[in-house]
Chain A
Amino acid sequence: MEFAAKFAFDMVAFTSVMVLIVLGLGVIASMMGIFNFAHGELVLLGAYTVYLSSEAGLGTWPGLLAAPVVVGLVGFGLERTVIRRFYRTPIIAMLGTYAIGLIIREIVRGLLGGHYKSIPEPIGGAFSLGGIEFSIWRSFIIATTLVVIGGTYLLLARSSIGLRVRGALENPMLARACGISTSRLYALTFTFGAALAGLAGALIVPLYQLSADIGIRFLVQAFLSVMLGGVGSFEGPVLGAAAVGGLAAWLPWVVTPVLADPLVFLIALAIVRVRPQGFIAVGRL
C-alpha cells in the first residue's frame, strides 16, 4: 500500500513533467499552426538559466524565476526575426525550427564542454504524509503544473486577450478587419509558449541532469502528445501529455523496458488512427 502510493505519486510527478513540457508546444501549435521543433531547446535554455544562476553563486531560485522571462524574450526575438517568415509554410517551419534548435543545442553543448551538470533541487528532501515520504521537489512540480494549467486556461478562455487570440485563430482575416493585430498576437503567443518551455526546463533540471540533450529527449514524446490530444484546443495537448506520460511510466511494469518506449508510440499511433482528430476535436478553444 505504502509503495503503491509512492509509485502512484512518481507517475503523477512524471506526468506533470510531460504536461509542463507539452503545454508550450501545444499552445504554439494550436494557435499558430506551427510545430516548433526548437521547443526542446527552449526547455534546455530554461534549464541552462538555472545552471548559470547557480554557477554565479546566486543559488537556483533566481534562475528558476528568471528562466521563463529569459526564454520568453529569446522566443520573442526568434518570432520577430525568423519564425514569422514560416507562417505560410508549416513544413519549412518544422525544418527551420529544427535548425534553430540544433544551433542552440550545439552552442550550449560547447558552453558546457560536453559535460553533464548536476543541479540541486531548490528545496531538497522529503516530507512525510501518513508515514509515507514524498519528495518535496516533485510535489512542487505537481503543484506548479496545476497552477500553470489553471492560469493558462483562464488566460486563454476567460480573458479578453484570450478572446482575441481565439478570434484570430478562428478567422485571421476577419480578426484583422476588426482591428486586431494578428502579427502582434502571434508574437505574444510564441513568447508565451517559449516562456512555458523555459519554466518547464527550470523545474525539471534538478530531477534530471543538465546536458545539451535534455530537451530533445522529450521532444518526440511531446510532439506525439499534441498529435494524440488534438491540435487546436487547450485541453487536447494536456490530455495527450497525461496519456503519454502515464503510459511511459506504467508500461515498464508489464513489459521489458526496452520495449516500453516503442510500445508507447505504437499505442498512441493506434489511437491517432482510430481518432485522427485527437481526443478533443479541433477549434474549441
Chain B
Amino acid sequence: MTMTRRRVLGGASALTAAGWLGSLTGGFVLRPNWAHAAGPIKMGIATDITGPIAPSGNANWQVAQFVVEEINKAGGIQGQPIELHLEDTASDPKIAVGNVRKLIQERRVNVVLGGITSAMRQAIKDPIVNRGRTLYIYPQLYEGQECTRFLFNTGPTPAQQCDRLIPYLIKTMGKRRFAMPSANYVWPQLLNRYARKVIETNGGEVVFEEYYPLDQAEYSATIGKIRDGRVDCVFSTIIAPGLQPFMKQLYESGFQKGGGVVSCVYYDENLLNYHPAQEMEGLVSCLDYFQAVDDPFSKALQEAYSKRFPGTKYLFTAGSASTGMYRGIKLYEAAVKATGGKLGREDVAAAMDNAVLTEGPGGGAQMVPGKMHARMNMYIAICRNDAGRTRYEVVDKADMVEPREC
C-alpha cells in the first residue's frame, strides 16, 4: 500500500476524532453582583460537567451555585462575596489535571471543591494541594484512607456507611449469609474490606467476595453461587454498566421472592427509576441524606433548590456528592468566619479542622479535629414499591456517626 497524502490525512483525522471532546471544554466564572474592597473570595469548582460522570458533576455544580448564591444574598462571608470558578474535569483525569491547574495558576482560587470518583481525586489532589498550595475539599462518599493534609473530606466513609447498616441487616432483618459481588476497582475493594470486618464481628458470614469487569453482561455464574451458598443478603458494589443485567438476573432467579435482601450503599433518588420497580423493591441503602428525611431544614432546602432549578434532572441527593458539596461550602464558610476573613491556607485549614455546621441536608456536620473527615447523621432506607412507583422509606437514623479515618 503506498502512502498518499489522502491516506495519511484520513488516518490522522480518525485519530484526532478520538480526542475531539477534550479540546472543547473551557472555564466558566459566576461573579457576585456586588463588590468588596478586599475583592471576592475565589472558590474553584472542579467537577465532571461532561463524560460518563456528568449527571453527578452537573448536580454538584448546581448545588455549588445554589449555596453560593444564598451565602452572597446573606452578605457573603465576613462581608466578602464569593466568586465561583468552574472547570470541567470531563470524567477524565488526564484532562482534569490541566484544567485544575488553570484554576490554581490563572484564576488563583482560594479553595477547590470537587472530584467525584476516587481516580479523579487521586489525579487532582497533587496539583491542588502539593504543587498548587491550595485547600481542597472532596465531597463524595468514598473508600476512605485519604489523609492528606489540606484535603478535607465531607462525604461519608465506609465506617459511616457500614457501622449502622450491617448490624441492622444482621440483627433487625435477620440476615446472616452475605455475598459481595463487586465491580473491580478501588472503592468496592476497600469498602468490602471494611464491611467484611463488620459482618464477621456481628456474627454474619461472607459466603463469597468476587470482582467483575465493570461492563460484564452475563451473571449466571454469580447467581448460581448465590443460590448454592444459600446467601440471604447480597451486599452489592456493582456499578453501571454491569449493574442492570446483574439486578435483572438476580431478580429473575427469584432471590428476593425467596426472602433475600439486596443492599447497596450508593443508591439514592437518582437510582429509583434505574431498574423496574419490582427489581428495586426491598433494596436497602445507607446514606447521609434521603429526600424522605423530613426535618424542616432539609425540606426547606430541597424546596429552595427546586425553585432555583425548576424541573431539573440533576437532583440534590447524597449519592451524587451533592450533600458533600453543600457541607463542604458551608464548612468553608464557617472556617473563614472563624479566621475573621483571613484566606491564607494555613489559617483556614486550622479553622476548618474544628468547623461545625449546625444545619444541612439530613442534619448538621462537624469536622473531627486532626482527622480530615466529618461526623454526620446517617440514615438507613428501604425502597418501597407503591404500585409501580418507587420511593425510599427511612427506617433508621444514627446521630453524628464517627468517620473513623486517619
Q: List A residues at the B interface (Cβ < 8 Å).
A: 3, 6-7, 10-11, 14, 17, 89, 91-92, 95-96, 98-99, 102-103, 106, 113-116, 118, 120, 124, 126, 133, 135, 207-209, 211, 213-214, 217-218, 248-253, 256-258, 261
B211 within 8 A of A: yes
Binds A, one of B172-180, B273-281, B327-335: B273-281
Least Cβ–Cβ distance between A248 and chain B, in angstroms: 6
Can you report 22 A-B residue pairs in the complex whose CB atoms are below 8 A from each other?
A3-B224, A3-B227, A6-B253, A7-B220, A7-B224, A10-B223, A10-B249, A14-B217, A102-B17, A102-B18, A113-B54, A114-B53, A114-B54, A124-B276, A208-B217, A211-B241, A213-B52, A218-B217, A248-B217, A250-B221, A257-B211, A257-B213
CA distance A223 to B22 in the complex (A): 28
B216 within 8 A of A: yes
Contact residue among B52, B211, B216, B243 (Cβ-Cβ distance under 8 Å from A114): B52
User: Smallest CB-CB separation from A253: which chain B residue?
Assistant: B221
User: Smallest CB-CB separation from A97: which chain B residue?
Assistant: B14
B245 within 8 A of A: yes
Least Cβ–Cβ distance between A81 and chain B, in angstroms: 15
CA distance A102 to B10 in the complex (A): 15
The answer to whether B17 and A99 have CB atoms under 8 Å apart is yes
The answer to whether B244 and A116 have CB atoms under 8 Å apart is yes
The answer to whether A209 and B241 have CB atoms under 8 Å apart is yes
User: Which 9 pairs between the two chains have the least Cβ-Cβ distance?
Assistant: A252-B221, A114-B54, A95-B14, A209-B244, A10-B220, A99-B14, A253-B221, A99-B17, A257-B212
B167 within 8 A of A: no
Contacts A89-B1, A98-B14, A114-B54 given; does A257 touch B215 at CB 8 Å: no
Encode B243-265 as 1/0 by CB contact (under 8 A) with A. 11100110011100000000000
Least Cβ–Cβ distance between A180 and chain B, in angstroms: 28
The answer to whether A217 and B276 have CB atoms under 8 Å apart is no
The answer to whether A116 and B241 have CB atoms under 8 Å apart is yes
B210 within 8 A of A: yes
Task: Please name all residues of chain A whose beta carbon is closer than 8 Å to the beta carbon of B18 when the two chains form the complex.
Answer: 99, 102
CA distance A196 to B18 in the complex (A): 26
Least Cβ–Cβ distance between B260 and chain A, in angstroms: 15
The answer to whether A249 and B218 have CB atoms under 8 Å apart is yes
B369 within 8 A of A: no
Task: Please name all residues of chain B whose beta carbon is closer than 8 Å to the beta carbon of A7 when the two chains form the complex.
Answer: 220, 223-224
Least Cβ–Cβ distance between A261 and chain B, in angstroms: 5
Q: Which of B227, B241, B313 has the most CB of A within 10 A?
A: B241
Task: Please name all residues of chain A whose beta carbon is closer than 8 Å to the beta carbon of B184 when the two chains form the complex.
Answer: 258
The answer to whether B274 and A118 have CB atoms under 8 Å apart is yes
- In the complex, chain B residues 195-236 whose Cβ is within 8 Å of any chain A Cβ: 210-213, 215-224, 227
The answer to whether B10 and A207 have CB atoms under 8 Å apart is no
